[in-house]
Amino acid sequence: MFAGLDLGGTKIQAVLVDVEGKVVSQCRHATPQQGGPQVIIEELFATLQEVTRMVNLEPSALAGVGVGAPGAVDPVAGVLLQAGNLPGWHGPHPLAEILSKKAKVPVFLGNDVQVAVMAEARLGAGRSYRSMLGVWWGTGVGGGIYLDGRRWTGRGAAGEIGHIVVRRGGAKCSCGRRGCMEAYAGRGAMELKARKAVARGEKTRLFELMESQGKDRLTSGVWMKALKQEDGLAERLIARAVRMLGAGIASAVNLLDVEAVIIGGGLGTRLGEPYVERIIQAMHPHLFVSQRPPDVRLSALGELSGAIGAALLSEPPAAGTSSHRSSRSVKGEV
Amino acid sequence: MFAGLDLGGTKIQAVLVDVEGKVVSQCRHATPQQGGPQVIIEELFATLQEVTRMVNLEPSALAGVGVGAPGAVDPVAGVLLQAGNLPGWHGPHPLAEILSKKAKVPVFLGNDVQVAVMAEARLGAGRSYRSMLGVWWGTGVGGGIYLDGRRWTGRGAAGEIGHIVVRRGGAKCSCGRRGCMEAYAGRGAMELKARKAVARGEKTRLFELMESQGKDRLTSGVWMKALKQEDGLAERLIARAVRMLGAGIASAVNLLDVEAVIIGGGLGTRLGEPYVERIIQAMHPHLFVSQRPPDVRLSALGELSGAIGAALLSEPPAAGTSSHRSSRSVKGEV
């Protein structure tokens, strides 16, 4: 049995999976907003204890624990270097080592988007394809590339599809550059744009909905609700995001000619199939080989893809499953 | 000994190479502008005869002949399917079979850009890198991708870097789509833009230079000369092309994180190092990991890269050279 912990800015999602990747228990805790790394690691441990207790085990009885974290990761050292989205996490902290000592079990660390894409590639919507591009649509737009059944990492930073330039000289991106796909499609960028529109006097229900749900930012749920209520600004910003996702993903397909594109991430998962269909339509005018588009599919593991992917960091391959690789290469890659 | 023939719209470049890829003879013929496929294949044979005669051989004494052709190719059947740039070549024609019968030697067929990038990857500017992106800047902007020392072809159409979208909804491309990098940087697109500017009354020496060189289109040589004379329109259009190349190549690097980018093609080779430097500058603002840019290098084989690459289609690997692959895989790939 293996545990996976998906560490996010607001919640920690835990799963236990068996050797075949089947989820046998799951639970969710809130991410502590005060106290920094020490308190966050304490809460990771508490979540791990709860998810193992659900099947009457102790963490030390597990074969391994994987953690997917939002930020720059040194997977070999198990150090979370930077994590802008985690309250109070400034600079490197040896997350894996500390958690491993508490739980008395090996702990592996990976980037949250990378492990989620890996889960989809091995067990989810991508599992029947030899080549795929994962597009994780959330606060930013992350990605992952699988070619010939193996993850392509380049010199360590491949997959940054959010920073494909879709409009040279265009909107300012959170990365400091201009015209990136993420500057139009990222939930963070869309929120900034919405706040500016409101400051100009434009009408929208986005921020009322945010407050009524007790949030301090425009979550995927808030966007979803605003779209259901046919809020004009929400519809306009999402339509713009979809257009830019279409152009950027098509560019990547023209370059790589992959068999499949998997759409995931908080916003991708929440908006679901109808928006996958809209992304397909937005890609079409830009596909060089438009008569043979790639399959574009929604993440199959949904909100659990990150936690399941984290569990895979410590999981040996299931026998006879060709899409599973050796646990050594999985650890080395992420 | 192997022969390579680089078949272009205006000239046929031939080389003989030895097993180490060294060029032992070369010659150049004009591509017949009348008569279509039959006459063109006749001229390919005449060029082949001349280049072998230079070392006192007959074509039938060669180990093999490769042809790089500008268009869609069926490499297994040796059929040139379409070739918009070849005068009178409409529809499929079994080039390899006909030439093979004439020359009494095996003939292999590949796409001109793909074989040129292969030559750079194996013998030229890319040979010390495990991963590289070839950007062939000419009438259009073609490309090729090498990952882990092997060409990545996707489902057969990978590498279309010219059709990365750099400005969604932007300039019309020859492919019929909008905002492609090629719509700004391709020599064909730049010529269209220059003709429109002249029609609007703008002053330029581009077309005088074209006529004085006896050309009917703006060749790389014409652009080069206009730039040397500091022609305002030429400088402006080339500067725009460089900006868009910078954004598009940086997008590809953000996605693939390759070690190196090799700039080739008619215009790339002709403009040379100073423009490679300008492309590097134009990429910089868009690189996600800007502190660790890829090496960007000019094609080392220059105008011969296509002919040498064509020769490689029929060449077995040199012993002990790890970047050389089996001739079987080379044939199968291109």
**B248-254: average pLDDT:** 98
- Longest CA span, chain A: 60
- Cα–Cα dist B122/B219, whole Å: 28
- Interface check for B39 against chain A (CB to CB < 8 A): the answer is no
Are the beta carbons of B260 and B290 closer than 8 angstroms? Answer: no
Q: Which amino acid is at B230?
A: E
C-beta separation of A64 from A2 below 8 A: yes
State whether the Cα torsion A94-A97-A101-A107 is positive or negative.
positive
Compute the average pLDDT of residues B36-41.
96
% of residues, chain B, pLDDT over 90: 84
Secondary structure E strands in A22-156 = 23-30, 64-69, 72-74, 79-82, 107-111, 132-137, 141-147, 150-151
How far does the CA of residue B23 sit from the closest CA of chain A (Å)? 32
Give the Cα separation of A315 and A96 in Å (integer).
Answer: 16
The architecture in CATH of the region A2-116+303-333 reads: 2-Layer Sandwich (3.30)
For residues B72-96, average pLDDT: 88
Rounded distance between C-alpha atoms, residue B145 and residue A174, angstroms: 29
Please provide the average confidence, as pLDDT, over all residues in chain B. 92
Residue at token pair 């082949």:
B48
CATH code at A128-300: 3.30.420.40
pLDDT of the residue at A85:
78
Using CB atoms within 10 A of its CB, is residue A168 exposed (0-12), middle (13-18) or buried (19+)?
buried
Query: d(Cα A203, Cα B309) in Å, to the nearest integer?
Result: 61
- Among A133, A134, A130, CA closest to A148: A130
Closest by CA to B68, choosing from B108, B125, B25, B22, is B108
State the virtual CA torsion across A40, A44, A49, A51 in degrees, nearest 10.
140
| Domain boundaries defined on chain B | 2-116+303-333, 129-300
pLDDT band, residue B87 (cuts 50/70/90):
confident
Q: What value does the mean pLDDT take over residues B176-184?
A: 96
From the list A165, A80, A77, A152, the residue with the least C-alpha distance to A118 is: A152
- Here the ipTM equals 0.89
CB contact under 8 A, A163 and B251: yes
Query: How much is the average pLDDT of B215-243?
Result: 97
Q: Would you state the pLDDT for residue A317?
A: 52
Q: Which residue of A has its CA nearest to B152?
A: A256
Measured CA to CA in angstroms, residue B324 lies from A111, A166, B28, B156 at distances of: 35, 36, 27, 21
Q: How far is B148 from chain A (nearest CA, A)?
A: 9
Distances (CA, A) of A306 to A85, A232, B276: 16, 32, 41
Tokens 């046919």, residue located: A230
User: Which amino acid, B74?
Assistant: D
Contact B175 A288 (CB under 8 A): yes
Tokens read off for B234: 């030429």
B178: DSSP letter: B
Candidate from B164, B178, B179 with C-beta closest to A254? B164
Q: Write out pLDDT tens, residues A134-185.
A: 999 999 999 999 999 999 999 988 999 999 999 999 999 989 999 999 999 9
Domain A2-116+303-333 and domain A128-300 have a common topology: yes
Nearest to A179 by CA among B254, B160, B275: B254
pLDDT-derived band at A321, boundaries 50, 70, 90: very low
Pair of tokens at residue A190: 């869309």
Residues facing B264 on adjacent strands = B136
Question: Which of A153, A154, A257 comes nearest B156 by C-beta?
Answer: A257
| Chain A / chain B CB contacts < 8 angstroms | 127
Q: Which of A178, A184, A256, A290 to mutate to test the interface with B (most CBs of B within 10 A)?
A: A256
Look over chain A and give the mean of its residue pLDDT values, rounded to a whole number. 92
Task: Give me the phi and psi of B298, to 5 degrees please.
Answer: -75, 145
Cβ separation of A167 and B168 shorter than 8 Å? yes
Confidence of residue A330 (pLDDT cuts 50, 70, 90): very low
* A147 chain-B contacts, CB cut-off 8 A: 147, 152
Task: Confirm if A26 and A304 have CB atoms less than 8 A apart.
Answer: yes
Q: Which of A128, A173, A138 has its CA nearest to residue A6?
A: A138
Comparing alpha-carbon positions, the chain B residue that sits nearest to A133 is: B255
Q: Is the pLDDT of residue B333 over 50?
A: no
Which whole-number Å values give the CA distances from B41 to A148, B32, B67, B97, B101, in the listed order?
Answer: 37, 10, 11, 10, 11
Closest CA to B288 of A78, A179, A89, A137: A179
**Closest by Cα among B169, B250, B170 to A240:** B169
Residues of A in contact with B163 (CB under 8 A): 251, 254, 286, 288
Mark yes or no for CB contact A254/B168 under 8 Å.
Answer: no
Query: Chain B: nearest CA to A142, how far in angstroms?
Result: 10
CA B249, B251, B257, B262: dihedral to nearest 10 degrees?
A: -10
| Percent of chain A's residues with pLDDT above 70 | 94
Average pLDDT over residues A8-29: 94
Cα gap B134→B267, rounded to integer Å: 14
Tell me if B164 sits within 8 A of A255, measured CB to CB: yes
**pLDDT band with cut points at 50, 70 and 90 for residue B326:** very low
* CATH architecture observed for domain B129-300: 2-Layer Sandwich (3.30)
Residue B274 makes CB contacts below 8 A (sequence gap 6+) with none
Partner B contacted by A152 (CB < 8 A): yes
CB B3 within 8 A of CB B311: yes
Whether residue A257 and residue B157 make contact (CB cut-off 8 A), yes or no, is yes
CB under 8 Å to A51, separation ≥6 — which residues? A3, A14, A15, A16, A25, A26, A27
Q: What is the pLDDT of residues B298-307, one digit of tens each?
A: 999 999 999 9
- Cα–Cα distances (Å) from A77 to A18, A82, A231, in that order, read 26, 14, 47
pLDDT at B95 over 70: yes
- pLDDT at position B51 is 98
pLDDT of residue A324: 32
| Chain A residues inside the 8 Å CB shell of B256 | 145, 152, 154, 158, 255
Interchain CB distance below 8 Å, A177 and B288: yes
Q: Sorting pLDDT into bands at 50, 70 and 90, what band is B317?
A: low
Which residues of chain A have a CB within 8 Å of the CB of B142? Answer: none
